Amino acid sequence: MTRTGFLGLGAMGVPMAKNLHRAGLLHSVWNRSADKATALAAELGISAPATLPQFATGLDVIVI
């Protein structure tokens, strides 16, 4: 299965990330404001790594 990460959780990013999650593709999220990423990750049951290198590790696709 494709492991997808979503970077940027603004007004458009959150709904797009949730759509990827519904499709079973979303593995992790990252945002410049860590609290947004942490909150969404907790809601969806996925990871929100602290740094960009950690975020990118092991992903097949990154949506920006």
Q: Identify the pLDDT of residue 1.
A: 80
Residue 55 is part of a domain; what is its CATH number? 3.40.50.720
Domain count within the chain: 1
pTM of the model: 0.92
CB 17 within 8 A of CB 40: yes
Residues 9-52 pLDDT 10s: 999 999 999 999 999 999 999 999 999 999 999 999 999 999 99
Answer yes or no: are the C-beta atoms of 30 and 49 closer than 8 Å.
yes
Q: Which residue range is the domain that position 35 belongs to?
A: 4-63
